[in-house]
């Protein structure tokens, strides 16, 4: 703004000087020597030059005074803003101090007993909550431990069952390869030790007892099997053989009829069974098992 005002003042002075020079030129055009002066350029008088310099000096002084006034106004405004900021900060700190003092006064009026009671209540609540969580997690851990024990017991039982099954399987293989019936009975006894009341082991043990001529023993073993599985065709067949060996024809035919009704394959075995030799001539036995000629395929 200062430079703009200075330029405006200089422009006014130049316009005034130009106007004076024009007037002087118009008055001097009638003189003969005017032509030579025009060619040399305008001539400014001493008075006019002093007046212009005075005006420039006064204009410069005004500009300096204007700049000083502006600097003073800006400085006053900055000091005013800083003063307001300091006052705001001071008031804020004072109000905050009053707030803290008021809160401290309220706590002092209420008393430290209230704070102590609040602390005790918080401690009691925390202890109750911790006790509840402890009981809950102990219950969960107990359930989890019980479940783990049950699963561990199940896994152990399954492992034992697998080992028992493998051992029984090996005993069955040995029994099928054994030619001595006494040894077979010993193997069946070992199977029964591992799996008591096994129907198949009891039935095959009865078969070995029949081969040794122990019909009563075989009969007892077959009864044990039929108590567990009354439709066991193998046990019925072995009991029929035992009854036939003891001369109990009716009982033998009754058990043989049930065995053949359950398993048709036993009909052919009955025709070649040595224990049924006393029954082969009986018509009911022949009707039950059929004749050997019935198995021959006609040409």
pTM above 0.75, yes or no: no
Tell me, yes or no, whether 172 and 193 share the same domain. no
Lookup result for tokens 């008393």: 111
Residue where one domain finishes, among candidates 43, 77, 103: 103
- Cα separation of 229 and 198, whole Å? 10
Tell me, yes or no, whether 194 and 288 share the same domain. yes
- Tell me the mean pLDDT in the region 94-119: 70
Looking at residue 263, which CATH number applies to its domain? Answer: 1.25.40.10
Tell me, yes or no, whether 203 and 291 share the same domain. yes
Instruction: Report the domain count for the chain.
Output: 3
Tell me, yes or no, whether 83 and 122 share the same domain. no
Residue partners of 224: CB distance under 8 A and separation at least 6 = 197, 202
Let me know how long the chain is: 299
Tell me, yes or no, whether 186 and 286 share the same domain. yes
Q: Is 174 left (phi over 0), alpha (psi -120 to 50) or beta?
A: alpha
List the domain range (segments joined by +) for residue 89.
2-103
Q: Rg (Cα) of the chain, in Å, rounded?
A: 68
pLDDT in tens, 9-58: 555 555 555 545 444 444 444 444 444 444 444 556 787 778 888 888 88
Tell me, yes or no, whether 59 and 117 share the same domain. no
In this prediction, residue 15 carries a pLDDT of 56
Is pLDDT at 5 greater than 50 in this prediction? yes
Residue where one domain finishes, among candidates 177, 194, 214: 177
Tell me, yes or no, whether 124 and 142 share the same domain. yes
Q: How many CB atoms lie within 10 A of CB 47?
A: 8
- Residues above pLDDT 90, as percent of the chain: 0
In this prediction, residue 293 carries a pLDDT of 45
Tell me, yes or no, whether 207 and 287 share the same domain. yes
Tell me, yes or no, whether 22 and 91 share the same domain. yes
Residue where one domain finishes, among candidates 129, 151, 177: 177
In this prediction, residue 43 carries a pLDDT of 53
pLDDT in tens, 108-151: 666 556 667 777 888 888 888 888 888 888 888 888 888 888 88
In this prediction, residue 33 carries a pLDDT of 46
- Cα separation of 226 and 233, whole Å? 9
């Amino acid at each position: 703004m200062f430079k703009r005002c200075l330029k405006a003042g200089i422009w006014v002075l130049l316009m005034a000087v130009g106007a004076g020079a024009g007037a002087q030129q118009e008055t001097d055009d009638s003189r003969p020597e005017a032509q030579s002066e025009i060619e040399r350029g305008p001539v400014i008088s001493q008075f006019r030059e002093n007046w212009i310099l005075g005006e420039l000096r006064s204009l410069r002084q005004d500009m300096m005074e204007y700049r000083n006034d502006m600097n003073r106004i800006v400085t006053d405004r900055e000091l005013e803003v800083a003063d307001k900021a300091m006052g705001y900060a001071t008031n804020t700190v004072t109000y905050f101090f009053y707030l803290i003092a008021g809160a401290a006064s309220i706590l002092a009026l209420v008393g430290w007993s209230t704070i102590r009671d609040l602390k005790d209540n918080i401690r009691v609540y925390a202890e109750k909550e911790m006790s509840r969580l402890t009981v809950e997690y102990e219950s969960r851990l107990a359930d989890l431990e019980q479940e783990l024990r049950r699963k561990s017991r199940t896994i152990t039982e399954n492992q034992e069952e697998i080992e028992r099954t493998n051992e029984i399987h090996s005993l069955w293989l040995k029994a099928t390869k054994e030619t001595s019936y006494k040894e077979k009975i010993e193997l069946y006894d070992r199977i029964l030790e591992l799996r008591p009341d096994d129907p198949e082991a009891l039935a095959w043990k009865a078969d070995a007892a029949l081969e040794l001529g122990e019909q009563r023993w075989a009969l007892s073993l077959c009864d044990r099997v039929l108590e567990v599985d009354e439709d066991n065709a193998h046990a019925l067949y072995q009991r029929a053989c035992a009854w036939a060996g003891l001369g109990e024809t009716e009982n033998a035919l009754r058990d043989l009829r049930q065995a053949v009704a359950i398993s048709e394959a036993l009909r052919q075995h009955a025709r070649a069974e040595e224990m049924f030799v006393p029954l082969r001539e009986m018509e009911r036995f022949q009707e039950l098992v059929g004749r050997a000629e019935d198995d021959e395929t006609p040409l």
